[in-house]
Every structure is written in C-alpha cells, then in structure tokens.
Chain A
Amino acid sequence: MTDVQTGQEGASSSGVDPAVADGSGATAGSAVADGQVATGGSAVADGQVATGGSAATGANGTAPDVVSGPGPGSVSGPDSVADAPILLQVEHLVVEFGSGKRRVHAVSDVSFEIREGETLGLVGESGCGKSTTGRAIVQVEVPTSGSVRFDGTELTRLSKKELRRIRTRIQMIFQDPISSLNPRRQIKDIVAEPLAIWGRGTKEERAEKVRAALESVGIDPETAGDRRPGEFSGGQCQRISIARALMSEPKLLICDEPVSALDVSIQAQILNLLADLKASFGLTMVFIAHDLAVVKNVSDRVAVMYLGKLCEVTGADQLYRAPAHPYTEALLASIPDPDPDRGAVATALSGELPSPLDPPSGCRFRTRCPHAQAVCAEVEPPLEDVAPGHQVACHFPLVNGTRIQRPVPAAATAATAS
C-alpha cells in the first residue's frame, strides 16, 4: 500500500483509502452511493475539516506514503477533533426488550455525540448495555425511542432498504472473531462479500481490493485467500473481520469488544492495527470494551456506562486523572496492573449488577456505591458538567480530589415524582 494517489477532492470516505486507487470503478460507485444518502452533507463536512487546518496535520500523519488532499482521517490532535463536525449524534436512546413485568431496560436515555475522526470508548461491566448501544446505532437492535443521527440522516426513521444502504458506511467488528466468520467460506470470498452484495466493481477489481484490504491488516493474501477461518488463530480472524469491515469504506467503525477474546500480546497487535487503520482510512470509531486500560489506550473520549445509563463522559486522560463518579473509580481500581508493588486493590467493587428487569430507583449505582445516601435513592442524578467537557451523573462527584454535594435539580425531582 505504498503508492496511493487520491484524485478526488470532495469524495468523502474514499479520501485516503489505498484500495480505492486500484479500482476506480468502485470509487465512482461509492461516491454516488454517498451522495444519494447524505445529499451533499458529507461533502460539506469534508470541506469544514479541510478549512480547519487539518490538511497540514495530514501531511505529518501516521501514514507516510499517503499523498492526500483533505481527508477526515488526518484529523489527529485533540484540538482538531473538537472542531470537527459531529458525525454521530445519539439522543435519549432507549432500548427495551420484552414487555410488562419482564421488560429489560437495556439502554435507558443515553445521549452522546461523536465528532468526525474521534474515537469514543464505551466501557462498563457485562450487562451494562454497552453492546446494545452499539447495535442500536446500526439499528440491529431497534430502539424503543430516541434518535440516532448519522452524518445528517436520522437512522431510526429509515426504511429497511435505506438502512441497508447507509450501513455500508457504518461497519461493526465483533467480539468473537472466529464465530463472526462463516467457517465454510474462503477468506477471499468473506472479505469480498460487502462489495459482492452491492455489485461494486468487476470480479477482478473486487479481487484486487480484497488483496489490498488483507495486506493492510497484515494478512498475506497469497497464502490466506483460499483458506477458511478454521485455519487461523483468533488474532488473525480478527484481522480478517477488520479487513471485511473496511471493504465498503465505512466512515464509522463500531468495535464491540474486539480484543477481549485475545491474548495480551495479540491484543496489542490488534489495537495498534486499529490505530493505524483509523489514521490511514479516516475512521471514526466507537470502541466498546470492559477493560478501561484498553479503552483508554484507543479512545479520545470515554463514556462509562452502568446498567443502561451513562455515568461519566470525558476525555480519556482526564477520566484516569480525575475520575468523578464512584463507579469509574471502582472500575479503575479493578484493573490488574503488572506491578508487584501496587499491592492489594483497596476499592474493589462488591456485589453484582442489579437486574435490568427492575433497576434501582434514583441513581442506578447506589446499591453498590460506597458513598450512597438517601437522596441517591430518591432522585436520579442528571448527567451534567463538573468541568468543561467532563460530564458526570452523580449527586456526590469527586471534584479536584474532594467529594462535593451537588444541588438536587428541581426538574429531576418533579420527573421522578410523576
């Protein structure tokens, strides 16, 4: 993937894609598809990024051989991310399963936004709704209510046909790499499928793109193309899944626990690979994981989830430096650190996640919270700023090392009463 030349100034996601240079027919197809869905919205978005001075950042970006015009992927520093347009806006997202008394409150009123080129980490224990949130973005799980706006398009109101089209630009990577690949198909067919479904390019062009994609994830297309998933290790299968996800040139990549099934040594390889691909393909990512150390490594911002609610949203470094929510503190303390001097963990979380069938009143974390008081059971703490860009949903957040008491919002009291 050395001699990449991008000729199109305004083509959105194809900006720095090495595969595109090889198959010009496919590029035209994707540009049309983009235009149909987003009606010029993405072209405008790119223009904004370019004027934000990111073309200069792109020149010294991580992919050295990419001769590129304006590309959202070149946005790397935190400042340029903050200026980038919002790519994904999730508002008051609610996902519930079942009905009546057997209603599982998987995601309850979650709102966040992701800017172009940004990586948002979603972290929490299993059962906290982080995967459901990821799946609800792609509309695999149909939200009960709320809005998901991707690049100007409201996804919750799209028809099935329109959804299928827009999903080419939002791709997912799953936790279990082996079971997410069809064991009976050859690798080259698995990776080519996103293009085959849409009839993009000729067979030869597709084969060429498959080669490029496999090479970009570090799999040798010569030896691997004819083999089947069972012949590969977990780490290699995850690379193949990533190659497949990149085939349709997505703007948004949703990674659902992509490394939790892998060994630490392989995990590091995959995390580095994702960082490289993000830079060279101009991806925006939602990174879902339960390990805060992993999430911190890849994310610009981190959202901590507990039992279907967001507890804390802030910059990755800020979250570690100054966790304000007691749950975040507990998560941080639970991570095994390879340091024999660190000693025993002081604040390991006790108890289990309460049932999402009947979540606790008020603050959902109060049943396990060491600082819980009467008000926590009565009034649900809203997600509000404790500092610029640092939101916490807690009545007693830790601010600058001291636990403060926030005024109980009158509106929230009324809401819970009604």
Chain B
Amino acid sequence: MSLRRRSSGRLEFPDVEDLVDPLLVVKDLHTSFRTSRGTIRAVDGVSLTVDRGRTLGVVGESGSGKTVLSRSIMGLLPTREVVRSGSVQFSGYQLEAMPEAQLRQVWGAQLSMIFQDPMTALNPVVRIGRQITESLRLHLRMDRAEAKATAVSLLSSVGIPSPEERLRWYPFQLSGGMRQRVMIAIALACSPRLVLADEPTTGLDVTVQAQILDLLADLQRERHMAMLLVTHDLGVVANRADEIAVMYAGRVVERAPARALFTHTKMPYTRALMDSIPRLANPSHTRLQAIAGRPPDLVNSPKGCKFAPRCPYVQQKCIDTEPPLRSAGSPDHLFACWFPLVDGRPSGLPTPEAKSDRTPEVQSR
C-alpha cells in the first residue's frame, strides 16, 4: 500500500517540554516567484518565532504574502520558478534543507495546516472518514479499528453530531462550517505541535466563525499546541493571539504582543487596518476610514517604505530609505517605521505642518 511507503531515516522529535529553543524559528525568509513580468517578491525577509503552546497571529491584506509565508514554512511550494532562501527551524530541525521524504514525516504528524477553502482542500471523491484516518494510519501506525475510533472521537471533539455516521459522508454532503471542522479534525489528528491555520474562518458565517475559533482555542489548550493564525481580519486575532505580526508587501512591518499592538500601535499601516473595520459600537452611517490606494506591485515595489504611497504621514525620508524592523522602549514590540505613532500621532516629524496631508510627489506615484 502506497501509504506505507516511507524513507529510511526516521526522524526523532524530542518531547515538547524538553525544547530549549522556541518551537519555530524563521530567519530572514525570502520566497520569490519568477514570472514573465519579473520576479514577484512575495515573502521578503521575514523573521519570526513561535513558542510552544502559543499563538502568533499573522495579519495582512490579500497580496501581503501571508499565505505564501505559511506555505514556505511548511515547504508546500512548487520548486519550479520559485526561489527560496532563509532558515526555518522547527523543533530543532532545519525544514528548508530537508528532503521531501523526510518532510513527509513532519507534515501532518508534527506540523499541519488548516487551509482556507475546505471544499478544494478536501478530496471530493474520498469519504471524510478515510481522509481523517489516513494520517493516523501512516504516522501513528494505528490499525483500522483504532484509527476509526480515533476519527470518531476527533469528529465529536470538533463538534460534529453523529460522527460515526458522518465518517461515511463525502465532503459535498457537508455545509461549509462542517467541512472546515473536518479540516480541523484532519489537521489535529496526530496532535501536531504546530498548526498553521491559513484564514481558517474566511468565507464562513460570523456565528460559525466564532464557533470554529473557540474550538481551535479549546483544542489548543488541551493539546499544548502552538498555532500560526493567518487572517486579514484584525478582529479575528484580537483576543485569540498571544502575539501579532502585521505583514505588508511581503514583510513584517509590526510585531508585538496582542495587547500592545492594539494599545500602543506604532505603524500607521496597522492603525489604518484597525480603523477600516466597521465597529458595532459606532452609530450607523459612520464614515469608515478606508485606506486609500492598493498594496504595491510586488514586482516593482517602491524602494523606500512600502507603505509610503498610502501613508497619511509620509515624509521624504520614507520614500528614500526603507525603515528597518526595530524596537523602541519595550524590546518585544517591533515596527518598521521612521516616524512611529505615539498616542495616535506620528513622532519625530521634521515639519509639524506636514502631518496629515500627503506630499504631492507621492500622490503622483
């Protein structure tokens, strides 16, 4: 049976409790796609760490590189026309240098992924029972009966009623929320140490979204599992992530503990993202603070700060030189901005009157 085929070298994973280093350490990760238009720098020098049992929220607009980042960490990118560099250390192993035969021992067992669209991620012609038991049989070498029993308990733990019966169902027989629960059950089947959840609730109803996020949080607590929660909605990660990294144009532009990110926002981009969300507390017809313009083209991105063309506080320095990711005050709050916000106003501006209006030469870019 093809499922049983495995490479010779079996990887040993130390107990999570024995880990000295953080569970996941990503250093200076670059992923580019070569296209006819030029090289798209989708992930452009991202460094981050996730400690065991913790949740890192990765937030950004579409095209900010957050999905490519999670796929680069997994090693789930095509090899043709893709240029990758940087280091991904997971549980002491360097994933970026690992041959695929060994990666297969990591995928699903230690590191798993919840994909955005459960309809395309699930195999439409295979019953969900087999899709769940596949990794149990392969990684944990369970026999049929044991795997089935585990699958039943997994399905009931993700809140699917009459799980025994549902094992025989095909994905199309389930609603979107139920399919996403099946995806979660598959991802969690082997109790991985780290789950990469790529927009796990986008496309679901708000009520179902709340259920799924609560479910993930509960399961995470039970299993001491770390999570990388990728989303475009700051509201989703606000009270569910320990730390939040905001991405823009393939880079992390602000990274901070969740609370600090909201209370002491440094990047104008992060602020703008927060302000664009309609709040229930505001009266109806409140004008939303939309971010003007679009994210930059990743083939010819601006040479200075990538957010400069859309930033309300842009200065000449921002256009000329790219700000590094740095900290000021608290060491765990990083930001890439020359004039970070302090109490909602940019600090260190050279000219006080140039505060709110963008300069004309930027507008024409």
Residues on A close to B: CB < 8 A? 125-127, 233-235, 263-269, 271-272, 275, 290-294, 296-300, 315-317, 320, 330-345, 348-350, 352-353
B56 within 8 A of A: no
In the complex, A268→B273 CA distance in Å? Answer: 10
Contact B282 A349 (CB under 8 A): no
Contact A331 B236 (CB under 8 A): no
Contact B272 A296 (CB under 8 A): no
Q: How distant is B256 from chain A, measured CB to nearest CB, in Å? A: 11
With most chain A CB atoms within 10 A of its CB, the pick from B178, B206, B292 is: B206
Contact A299 B284 (CB under 8 A): yes
Known: A275-B285, A292-B206, A297-B284. A265 touches B278 (CB 8 A): no
Q: How distant is B272 from chain A, measured CB to nearest CB, in Å? A: 7
Q: How distant is A322 from chain B, measured CB to nearest CB, in Å? A: 13
B280 within 8 A of A: yes
Residues of chain B within 8 A (CB-CB) of A344 are 214, 239
What is the chain B residue whose CB lies nearest that of A335? B206
Contact B205 A125 (CB under 8 A): yes
In the complex, A89→B262 CA distance in Å? Answer: 45
Contact A338 B277 (CB under 8 A): yes
Chain B contributes a number of interface residues (CB within 8 A of A) equal to 48
Q: How distant is B56 from chain A, measured CB to nearest CB, in Å? A: 15
Residues of chain B within 8 A (CB-CB) of A291 are 206, 278
Contact B210 A293 (CB under 8 A): no
User: What are the 8 tightest A-B residue pairs by CB atom distance, in nearest-first order?
Assistant: A336-B235, A316-B284, A268-B290, A268-B276, A268-B288, A334-B210, A269-B290, A297-B278
Contact B278 A268 (CB under 8 A): yes
Residues of chain B within 8 A (CB-CB) of A125 are 205, 207-208
Residue of A233, A235, A339, A349 touching B239 (CB-CB under 8 A):
A339
What is the chain A residue whose CB lies nearest that of B310? A265
Residues of chain B within 8 A (CB-CB) of A299 are 284
Contact A338 B288 (CB under 8 A): no
Contact A340 B238 (CB under 8 A): yes
What is the chain B residue whose CB lies nearest that of A343? B239
Contact A338 B211 (CB under 8 A): no
In the complex, A321→B213 CA distance in Å? Answer: 26
B209 within 8 A of A: yes
Contact B290 A336 (CB under 8 A): no
In the complex, A214→B210 CA distance in Å? Answer: 38
What is the chain B residue whose CB lies nearest that of A127? B175
Interface Cβ pair total, 8 Å cutoff: 138
Q: How distant is A299 from chain B, measured CB to nearest CB, in Å? A: 6
Q: How distant is B220 from chain A, measured CB to nearest CB, in Å? A: 14
Residues of chain A within 8 A (CB-CB) of B208 are 125
Residues of chain A within 8 A (CB-CB) of B234 are 264, 338
B331 within 8 A of A: no
In the complex, A343→B291 CA distance in Å? Answer: 28
Residues of chain B within 8 A (CB-CB) of A296 are 278, 280, 284
Contact A293 B238 (CB under 8 A): no
Contact B205 A342 (CB under 8 A): no
With most chain B CB atoms within 10 A of its CB, the pick from A272, A339, A345 is: A339
Contact A267 B276 (CB under 8 A): yes
In the complex, A297→B178 CA distance in Å? Answer: 30
Residue of A235, A335, A349, A350 touching B280 (CB-CB under 8 A):
A335
Contact A332 B280 (CB under 8 A): yes
Further contacts, 18 of them, CB under 8 A, given A265-B291, A297-B282:
A233-B62, A268-B288, A268-B290, A290-B205, A290-B206, A293-B279, A296-B278, A297-B284, A300-B285, A320-B280, A331-B207, A334-B207, A336-B235, A340-B238, A341-B239, A344-B239, A348-B214, A349-B207
Contact A340 B262 (CB under 8 A): yes
Contact A271 B288 (CB under 8 A): yes
Q: How distant is B61 from chain A, measured CB to nearest CB, in Å? A: 5
